[in-house]
Amino acid sequence: MKVLVFWDVFGRIWRAALAKELPILREKHKPDFIIVNIENATSGRWAIEKHAREISDLGVDVMTTWDHVFDNISKIEDYLNETNSKVIRGANFYEHKDYKIPWKGYKIVEKNWKRLLVIHLIGEVFMNKKVNNPFEVADDILEELKWEKLDWIIVDFHKEATAEWYGLWFHLDGKISALFGTHTHIQTNDELILPNWTWILSDVWMNWPLYSVIWADYKSVEKRFLTWLNKGKIEQCLDKNYVVNWVIFEIWSDMKCEKIEKIRVRNKLI
C-alpha cells in the first residue's frame, strides 16, 4: 500500500497549488490513500465547508486538523456532521459530561477491500490546548478497535516538542504502521523505520508561499522581529511562487513499513 501525506495547506493560493500538483502526483505515484491537513486552509484558519469540500473532491481520503480546529466551526459544522465527512479532529480533547466534543478523532477508510485506520492526536508539551495524555488515548483507541479488521494504522501527531514525539514513536513501535508529526512547519531529516517496522518522521512540512515567513508577508511582521511591538494585522503573503511538500510511504500487507520518500516541489501559479 502507498500513502501520500500533505500537511498544512495554507490559504487560497496554496489550495490552488494543491489542486494543481495533486493530480500529477497521483498519476506518478498511484497512492492507495491520501491524507491532507486542512487546519489553515481558509486564510490561516480552519477550513470552511466550501474549502473542505474542494480539497475532498481532489480525491483525498482523510483530512486532519488540530489547534485551529474550531476557528470556523459555524461555517463547517453541517459538513462535519455528515456521515461521509472526511474530517477528523484530535482524539485527545478533554471530554465533559455536559459539553461533548463532536466528531471522532479517528477514521477507518475502506478502499479496494483494504481498511486503513487514521488516528489524530495532539501533544501536551508547549501546546495551547489542554488535552488528555496522547499516549493513553492512543492505547485506548487501539484497544477499542482491536477486533476490527485493519490492514494499516497511521497516526498524525500534532505536537511542538520533538522529545514528546520521539517518546510516542517508541511507545507505538510495532503497534501501528506509521507515525508522522505536524505543526512545527519545517520538514525534518529524521525519517526512520523502527526495529518493529513502524515508519516515523518528526514533521512533514507545509504547503505554503515560498517567499514568506511561514505564510506571512514579511513587511507585515517586520516590526515584531525588530521591536517589542506586536500590533498590526499579519498579512498573508500572496506571491504566487509556492512550495508543496509531501511524504509518500509504502507498507506491506502485514502492516510493516518498507519505504519512505520525502518530496518537495517548487512552482508558480500563472
Highest mean pLDDT out of 102-106, 134-138, 202-206:
134-138
On the question of pLDDT at 165 being above 80, the answer is yes
185 is annotated as an active-site residue = no
Summarised one tens digit per residue, pLDDT across range 115-146 is: 999 999 999 988 877 889 999 999 999 999 99
Selected catalytic residue, list 68, 120, 158, 183: 68
pTM above 0.85, yes or no: yes
Summarised one tens digit per residue, pLDDT across range 221-250 is: 998 889 877 778 888 888 899 888 888 888
Average pLDDT over residues 186-206: 85
Which residue would you say has higher pLDDT here, 179 or 204? Answer: 179
Rounded mean pLDDT of the chain? 87
On the question of pLDDT at 179 being above 80, the answer is yes
On the question of pLDDT at 112 being above 90, the answer is no
On the question of pLDDT at 67 being above 70, the answer is no
pLDDT number for residue 44: 67
Measure CA 173 to chain center.
20
Of the given ranges (1-5, 37-41, 64-68, 159-163), which has the lowest mean pLDDT?
A: 64-68
> Domains in the chain and their CATH numbers?
2-210+242-268 (3.60.21.10)
